[in-house]
Amino acid sequence: MPREAAAPTPMYRRDPWRRRYRLNLALTDLFSLVWVVYGTQLLWFGLGNAQVAAGRDSRISDLSYWLFSAILIVTWMWALSFVDSRSDRVIGTGSQEYVRIADASFRLFGTVAIIAFLTQIDVARGYLLISLPLGILVLIFTRWMWRQWLVAQRSRGLYSANVLLVGSLPSVTQLAREFGRSPSAGYRVVGACVPNGKIADVIPGTAIPVMGHVGDVTRALQVTGADTVAITSADDLPADKVKQISWSLEAGRQHLVLAPSIIDIAGPRLHTRPVAGLPLIHVETPKFSRGQSFLKRSVDLLAASVGVVLLSPLLIFLIIAVRLSSDGPVFFRQTRIGFRGREFTMIKFRSMVVNAEDLLEQLAAQERDSGNEVLFKMKNDPRVTPIGRIMRKFSLDELPQLFNVIGGSMSLVGPRPPLPSEVAVYADHVHRRFLAKPGITGLWQVSGRSSLSWEESVRLDLSYVENWTLLGDFVILGKTARAALAPGETAA
């Protein structure tokens, strides 16, 4: 009598990391709020048993601040849970986790203020005004600390969703490449189902195994132990196959992700609208309103002016150091292409010998940065002076561009300002980077700098231009400061 076929054994052990990580966040949030709220109470009232006065409403008795603080902590924890600030869909990458923390906190304190006003309950304003911002800062800091730990774990393939890709071979390959580029997002590809796929094949250019054709999704889930199915394209799937896949998934443990082929589009430009049972995804065209331009310019002008004042001793020191270290001018001026394709003069501290431009063609013929056909980047460039090498390592040669920012030709954050010779060989779509002012720093700098290929540099610049937010600028500036203080191998 033939033996019954054994059920496929999952290749990957089920790891309930989401629940464990949410519990860790909840415990840290609770500890942080207890420390902030009761710490503020002790700072404001001391160890005495201060009372929350009920005003003229005789129905409400006076309440001890010890009890009021406990109620505030419990409702604050509930508010953080209500907005899903610990959801695995927002942790690990992006700013949504921090935005939800701030949103829940402001809504909670707004509600407390309204209730206190309507019921004539006299709550100490200083107590609330200290607890709110301090609580938000401490919560965001602890979440950031947890994120650093999570990113480190995900770089080792842990604490990530095990993803099964389903779709055409080109779309599967593209999404696998994007997931591999951003391990901090928490998607680890464990297999793929493609049309006419054969088991034991691999996706070209990767080590991702092919688990069969697009009709073998259920079996592939069992074999790989994947907890997420990512549909990269539906053109090669039978009718209603996506719906059947969603029905077959285990509720609460397995997830379905639809990955459209359009990339580098940020959340604020995406809107889902159900029409006749169809989940239509609306992609808004980039908008650059006068209000956004005014806000960005105001921040640039204020921050650059303050920066020049605070950094003036360092600027004076660098002027003297460049002057004494080598012959030639202190500043290096170069024509670059900026906003709307206009030329401007960019200022930097001179970090090379005087005849550096004359030596460029000779060096370019000898060595070009690997994979970058347009930008010239060379490690150990012999044209760089000793003081210039130090300035470049810590990005100090860029400081005079603060005067470009004050003058309006540059921004603190933006696309890289290209040379006219580079613009001459641009493809048509690359000119979209001129919709924003060039920046002293940018997304490309904090994402790899000189180690990036030309295609990656363009992709990051266009992604910044089309998805600009002020919060995103602050994040890039923070990463830039960290990179300048602790430069890695990509510093050039």
At 469-482, the pLDDT tens digits run 888 888 889 888 88
Residue 50, in any domain of the structure? yes
Same domain, 149 and 167: no
Residue finishing a domain among 124, 154, 184:
154
Q: Does residue 282 form part of some domain?
A: no
Asked, for residue 470, whether it belongs to a domain, the answer is yes
Beta strands in 198-254 (DSSP E): 228-231
Q: pLDDT for 401-448, tens place per residue? A: 999 999 999 999 999 898 898 888 888 878 888 888 999 998 887 876
pLDDT on residue 371: 47
The helix/strand/coil state of 203 is coil
- State how many domains the chain has: 3
Q: Are 442 and 271 in contact (CB under 8 A)?
A: no
Q: Average pLDDT of 274-303? A: 76
pLDDT computed for residue 2 by the predictor? 40
Q: Are residues 377 and 447 in the same domain?
A: yes
- My answer on whether 129 and 206 are in the same domain is no
314 lies in the same domain as 331: yes
H or E, element range at 141: helix 125-154
Alpha-carbon span 35 to 241, nearest angstrom = 52
Q: Are residues 436 and 302 in the same domain?
A: yes
Tell whether 27 and 116 lie within a shared domain.
Answer: yes
Same domain, 239 and 309: no
Do 249 and 222 fall within a single domain? yes
Looking at the fold, whether 207 and 111 belong to one and the same domain comes out as no
Whether pLDDT at 4 is above 70: no
Report yes or no on 389 lying in a domain. yes
Mean pLDDT score of the chain:
81
| Cα within 13 Å of Cα(71), Cβ side | 9
8 A C-beta contact, residue 474 and residue 140: no
438 in a domain, yes or no? yes
pLDDT digits (tens, 9 = 90+) for 215-271: 788 888 888 888 888 888 776 676 677 778 887 787 767 888 887 766 656 555 666
Strand-pairing partners, residue 231, are 166, 258
Shared domain for 139 and 178, answered yes or no, is no
DSSP 8-state assignment for residue 432: G
**Structural domain includes residue 331:** yes
CATH number at residue 191: 3.40.50.720
Question: What's at 425, amino acid-wise?
Answer: V
310 and 346 both lie in a single domain: yes
User: Do both 425 and 320 map to the same domain?
Assistant: yes
On the question of pLDDT at 12 being above 50, the answer is no
Instruction: Tell whether 319 is covered by a domain.
Output: yes
Closest residue by Cα to residue 468 from 428, 421, 432: 432
pLDDT of residue 328: 85
pLDDT tens digit sequence for 147-178? 999 999 988 888 888 999 988 888 888 888 88
Q: Which helix (H) or strand (E) holds 347?
A: strand 343-349
Domain extent for 450 = 290-485
DSSP reduced 3-state for 102: helix
Residue 96 domain-assigned?
A: yes
The answer to whether 451 and 488 are in contact (CB under 8 A) is: no
Domain boundary among 261, 282, 302: 261
Show which of 154, 175, 198 is a domain's final residue.
154
